[in-house]
Amino acid sequence: MQAPLAKRIWDAIAAPFDGWLMAFLAGIFVMSMLVLFSASNQSWHKIDNKLVYTIMALAVMWIMANARPQTVMNFAPPLYAAGVLMLVGVELFGITVNGSTRWLSLGIVRIQPSEIMKTALPMMVAWYFQKYESTLNWRHYLVAVALIAVPGALVLKQPDLGTAVLIMGAGFFVLFFAGLSWKIIIGGLVAFLASLPVVWNLLHDYQRRRVLTLIDPMQDPLGDGYHIIQSMIAIGSGGPWGKGWLNGSQTHLDYIPERTTDFIFAVYSEEFGLAGNLLLLALYLGVITRGMLITARAQTLYGRLLAGAITLSFFVYVFVNMGMVAGILPVVGVPLPFMSYGGTATVSLAVALGMLMSIGNTKR
């Protein structure tokens, strides 16, 4: 009688998890532990913390995967409203760190409302389209654009260009899957390119410098270009097979900045080489592919819009982070999903993937 009981418990735990997603995530997790140990100069303290974050992430992922999407959907408007209110709060009395105001202090805890918005915004827009599904017309698209623009503008003002782009991107993906006309998409793209000179003038100095540095890092090899050059050297010198675990000289001689967080991929790349990079890319592609399949099979409009937006956002995080470390995108503070060290990002990604799983679990 023992075995069946244990099996029942196991089944109860495993049931809401999506097998394919979990398999890819497990692969990413193993690589992330290895590289964190190396990047942190073999700090067990950081490994312990990362384990705690992972357990927390699994817990929230399980909870979200268990919840019915139709139930969670109803939380979208209050969550979104609270998020916008908090963003306004940040604007009025936020905490300023390094010249940008991103944090809100709620007594003991400090929270970053823009982090919440990354999930709340696509949920809200998807909820909105679901609500007016039968009567959709162009006015609804206008409202949706406003829903996206308000938090986007607030985050942009903090200033946090990277996060603003990610948040607005997530909202745009919902619009895209909801059937936003191609004419508008292409027209918008053209308008965006045309407005670049204007945007350039609106950018903060440090943002302009980042863009310029990207175009030619060698302009200031010891200043702003330093990080990019050093991380490119790390990746390039890793070669096809890497220098071996714990053997990255760039890493251990302190050349790589933020090497446990935003630039952890440079450490990974140096030690595991092209082979490791392709393996990691394949794991991420696995997650994305599975996400797209869930999206394709989703039953409700809300489900397919949200699942599509989550999957595309996940892709954007991966692409922007790796692109930045590899020197083809500007340096914006985007962590590499489940690889970078940090509790908030890990847990909020777990929430999103948990919702994705619950959408996948909802059968016809």
Instruction: Give me the residues that bind other proteins (CB under 8 A), please.
Output: 41-43, 45, 134, 173, 176-177, 179, 221-222, 226, 232-240, 249-250, 252-255, 269, 273-274, 277-278, 281, 284-285, 288-289, 292, 295-296, 304, 308, 312, 315, 318-319, 322-323, 326, 328
Q: How far is the CB of 116 from other proteins (least distance, A)?
A: 25
Instruction: Pick between residue 142 and residue 296 the one whose CB is nearest to other proteins.
Output: 296
Q: How far is the CB of 11 from other proteins (least distance, A)?
A: 31
Torsions phi, psi of 352, nearest 5? -60, -45
Q: How far is the CB of 105 from other proteins (least distance, A)?
A: 18
Q: Whole-angstrom Cα distance, residue 28 to residue 45? A: 20
Q: If you search the block for the tokens 């418990």, which residue do you land on?
A: 9
For strand 95-97 and strand 100-106, is the pairing parallel, antiparallel, or unpaired? antiparallel
Q: How far is the CB of 86 from other proteins (least distance, A)?
A: 26
Q: How far is the CB of 193 from other proteins (least distance, A)?
A: 18
Instruction: Pick between residue 105 and residue 181 the one whose CB is nearest to other proteins.
Output: 181
Instruction: Pick between residue 238 and residue 330 the one whose CB is nearest to other proteins.
Output: 238
Strands (E) in 53-201, as ranges, are 95-97, 100-106, 109-111
Q: Of 73, 137, 140, which is closest to residue 298 (Cα–Cα)?
A: 73
Instruction: Pick between residue 17 and residue 272 the one whose CB is nearest to other proteins.
Output: 272
Q: How far is the CB of 148 from other proteins (least distance, A)?
A: 18
Cα–Cα distances (Å) from 81 to 41, 88, 112, 155, 200, in that order, read 43, 11, 15, 15, 31
Q: How far is the CB of 278 from other proteins (least distance, A)?
A: 6
Instruction: Pick between residue 61 and residue 174 the one whose CB is nearest to other proteins.
Output: 174
Sign (positive or negative) of CA dihedral 224, 240, 258, 342: positive
Where helices occur in 260-300 by DSSP H, the ranges are 264-297
Q: Of 251, 277, 288, which is closest to residue 339 (Cα–Cα)?
A: 277
Q: Of 163, 162, 94, which is closest to residue 331 (Cα–Cα)?
A: 162
Instruction: Pick between residue 60 and residue 274 the one whose CB is nearest to other proteins.
Output: 274
Instruction: Pick between residue 72 and residue 312 the one whose CB is nearest to other proteins.
Output: 312
Instruction: Pick between residue 167 and residue 234 the one whose CB is nearest to other proteins.
Output: 234
Q: Whole-angstrom Cα distance, residue 353 to residue 166? A: 16
Q: Of 74, 185, 68, which is closest to residue 130 (Cα–Cα)?
A: 74
Q: Which amino acid is at 19?
A: G
Q: Whole-angstrom Cα distance, residue 344 to residue 333? A: 14
100, β-bridge pairs: 97
Q: How far is the CB of 247 from other proteins (least distance, A)?
A: 10
251: left (phi over 0), alpha (psi -120 to 50) or beta: alpha
Instruction: Pick between residue 90 and residue 232 the one whose CB is nearest to other proteins.
Output: 232
Q: How far is the CB of 72 from other proteins (least distance, A)?
A: 20
Q: Whole-angstrom Cα distance, residue 108 to residue 115? A: 18
Q: What are the DSSP calls for 97-125, one per residue? A: ETTEEEEEEETTEEE-HHHHHHHHHHHHH
Torsions phi, psi of 313, nearest 5? -65, -45
Q: How far is the CB of 202 from other proteins (least distance, A)?
A: 27
Instruction: Pick between residue 78 and residue 221 the one whose CB is nearest to other proteins.
Output: 221
